[in-house]
Structure 1
Amino acid sequence: MSTKRRFLTTSLAVLTAFTALAGCSRIDRGEDSTAGAQDQGAAAEVRLGYFPNVTHAAALIGVDKGFFAKELGGTKLTTQTFNAGPDAVNALLGSSLDVSFIGSGPAINAYAKSGGEAVRLVAGATSGGAQLVVKPEITSPADLNGKVLTTPQLGNTQDVALKKWLADEKLDVQVTNVENSQSLDLFKRGDIQGAWAPEPWSSRLVLDAGAKVLLDEKDLWEGGRFPTTVVLVRAEFLAEHPQTVEALLRGHLAATDFALDNEVEAKQVVNAALKQLTGKALGDAVLDRAFDNIELTVDPQAKSFPQLAEDAVTAGVAKEAADVAGLADFTLLNKVLTAAGKPTVDTAGLDKK
């Protein structure tokens, strides 16, 4: 069976899911989600999503160390965790979530499926931190033919990256979508031969299960930098409560700076948060390796988004490349960075439709 045919069911499922989401949205009925929205001052509550992954370290630190709560003042912070991006997209488009740390792929999908109206990219969070790890006997891409690999969820950032790479390499591989923790168990049992996984799961597969790195995703990008995790906001919430979004971004910057200036404590905070959320802490070696493989940054690396949109087509999870013009609004992020005496970030034209 060809790689294209193996991906057909996946592609149809993803497209159907996003079509259903769009069908339930006000955008699909010809309504602009921000039409008539006016600045209402600070929100009474902000609902924040993130994942129990090292690639979401800034969110874990911001919540645990109180950086978000401090900046939000009287605004109540409510948090929710997700396994992967598509679930967070559902929550954002369904208006049950206001802001989320999320993968770049689902961020693009949410924007495209809402007709460019429902969400805005307001910051970056993490660069790097995703690897294709495999059984030791696999020494080249060709050895993957006929094998089974996993990604965290259908249509998530790692799913798109793996399927795009497989298509480029013209490999015949079965891709199965399971939660990261299940991938570890399946790998140990020999039921799968590898996974395209985010940190800390790629490190756990290597150090706890004997996998080896066949490909680090950063090697596919110029300068080794690509947006693994970004911050996405409902456009209506942004229009109505810019003060609250700005406060969250101040907390996000404070959490990022804390992690960069206090690496040892940052690792401890992240590990404690992971234990609370997943029931298990990481070993020191896994934690060290995971942190070594990521770069915490509020820069979303906007210039990479047109390529990411094209990658979704190559991967077979989109029929055509999403038009990402207008996705970004870095006004508040750059305001926060300027106030902190830091360089602003480039929109790379993503702020204009």
Structure 2
Amino acid sequence: MNTIRTATTITTLGLVAVMMAGCASAAAEPSEQSEVDELRLGYFANVTHAPALVGLEQGLFEDALGEVEVTTSVFNAGPAAIEALTAGAIDATYIGPNPSINTFIQSGGESARIVAGAATGGAALVVADGIDSAEDLAGTTLASPQLGNTQDVALRVWLADQGYATDVSGGGDVSVTPTENAQTLTLFQDGQLDGAWLPEPWVSRLVIDEGADVLVDEAELWPDGEFPTTVLLVRAEFLEQHPDVVEQLLEAHLAAVQWIADNPDDAPGVINAALEAETGKPLSDAVIERALEHVTFSVDPHADTFETLVSNGLEAGTQKEGSIDGLFDLRLLNGLLEASGSDTVSAAGLGEDSP
């Protein structure tokens, strides 16, 4: 049996009942809502975005949103998705926590809200043979998906903890070069990179397909190994104007997380098919199975970790100082969870969470 890590308390029958009956919006009264016929959704072709992949592949977004058409955009990393969100090109996106923090702080709290968690875990520093410890990294070149994305921040902070200086232009004791994940794989194959801090399935691709070694599993750096990798972020204006549509989006998201939990044998194939549709090539069975073993899917965004993530972004030099009070709006999510008889999740004092 395939091993898929899930952490969800969704009651399937209760969720179905809620989806059939609908749930009163906690974000706005019906009179405040306006009609919309399209939801523009962003996500990445990563295993850590499996709820998006499953939701699309299984038709769960279509089922939940009904007459509202879901159109999608695929990104390599968070900063690019944030650029699209800020420009109004998309309405919501699956994304890492650090870019979510960045846009909220830079906009003075006006840009977006985290409405749910999606995945924890599934990120690591992988390196070439001959690099056996932090001491071996002096003078090396390492990649991250994009400057200021969640893995980029994690890499820079970890290197600083090891005594290495880095800068955002690629200088310092260790050169950090933000690179698209697919290009990272090619450069590693060609010996032009010594390693990379990546999300799944790219970690497993380098380990299984290219013989890389895991030097740091990010889970080892967090209490109980739990750190948010992916959250669901919505434009604040869209949430305010169309809470009914965001609620439907969350219904689909909950259904996708539940489907992954309920179908551990089928999930790898479904996720792989979605990845193949985006990248043109499926992962090997060994890669997809290893990747899924290192990711937990949950609607809890682990808001209690975000103050630490803010500190990490400041230390990495990729983020401005500012408050994240109000970053979370979990009212719609918790309304659905409560109605289905499931445990609600906390905003840790950083926003709204009472349904």
Matched, 1:130 2:123: yes
Greater length-normalized contact order (CA 8 Å, ≥ 6 residues apart): 2
Residue identity in the other structure for 2:163? K
TM normalised by structure 2 equals 0.87
2:84, 2:308 → 1: CA distance? 26
Q: Which residue of 1 aligns with 2:102?
A: 109
Letter in 1 for 2:132: T
For each residue in 1:166-193, what CA deviation from the matched residue of structure 2 results, as whole angstroms up to 9, or x when unmatched?
A: 1111122100111111111111111111
Q: How far has the Cα of 1:41 moved from its partner?
A: 4.3
What is the number of residues matched between the two proteins? 316
C-alpha distance in 2 between matches for 1:51 and 1:96: 16
The answer as to whether partners of 1:41 and 1:243 remain within 8 angstroms in 2 is: no
Partner of 2:237: 236
User: In 2, are the aligned partners of 1:42 and 1:75 still within 8 Å (CA)?
Assistant: no
Alignment-derived partner of residue 45 in structure 2: 52
- Residue of 51, 57, 77 corresponding to 1:84: 77
> Counterparts of 2:94 and 2:35 in 1: how far apart (Å)?
20
Which residue in 2 is equivalent to 1:315?
Answer: 316
Name the structure 1 match of 2:336.
336
* Contact 1:117/1:235, CA 8 A, preserved across alignment: yes
Secondary structure in 2 matching 1:263: coil
For 1:308 and 1:319, the matched residues in 2 are separated by: 12
Deviation of 1:118 (Å): 1.3
Identity fraction in percent: 53
* Counterpart for residue 118 of structure 1: 111
Q: Distance in 1 between matches of 2:57 and 2:180?
A: 24
Aligned AA (1:123): A
TM-score (norm. length: structure 1): 0.87
Show CA shifts across 1:26-84 (max 9, x none): xxxxxxxx9xxx73245211100000000000000011101111111111111111011
Alpha-carbon distance in 1 for matches of 2:225, 2:32: 39
How far apart, CA to CA, are the structure 1 residues paired with 2:94 and 2:159? 27
Amino acid at match of 1:264: D
Offset of 1:296 from its aligned partner? 0.4
Distance (Å, rounded) in 1 between the aligned partners of 2:182 and 2:131: 22
Cα-Cα RMSD: 1.4
Structure 1 distance, partners of 2:65, 2:306, is 30
1:39 corresponds to: 32
Q: CA deviation at 1:318?
A: 2.3
Q: Which has the higher helix share?
A: 1
Q: Secondary structure at the match of 1:214?
A: strand
Q: Which runs of 5+ in 1 are unaligned?
A: 1-33
Contact conserved, 1:128 with 1:217, CA < 8 A, in 2?
yes
Q: Which runs of 5+ in 2 are unaligned?
A: 1-26, 165-172
- Give the Å deviation of 1:216: 0.4
Q: Aligned equivalents of 1:145 and 1:58: distance in 2?
A: 38
Task: Give the whole-Å Cα distance in 1 for the aligned partners of 2:189 and 2:163.
Answer: 27
Tell me if structure 2 keeps the 8 A contact 1:41–1:242: no
The alignment status of 1:281 with 2:278, answered yes or no, reads: no
Q: Would you say the 8 A contact 1:51–1:83 is kept in 2?
A: yes
Name the structure 1 match of 2:151. Answer: 158
Per-residue Cα deviation, 1:209-260 (whole angstroms, up to 9, x for no partner) = 0100000001111110011000000011001110100111011010001001
- Trace 1:152-231 onto structure 2 (pairs within 5 A): 152-171=145-164, 172-231=173-232
Match of 1:348 in 2: 348
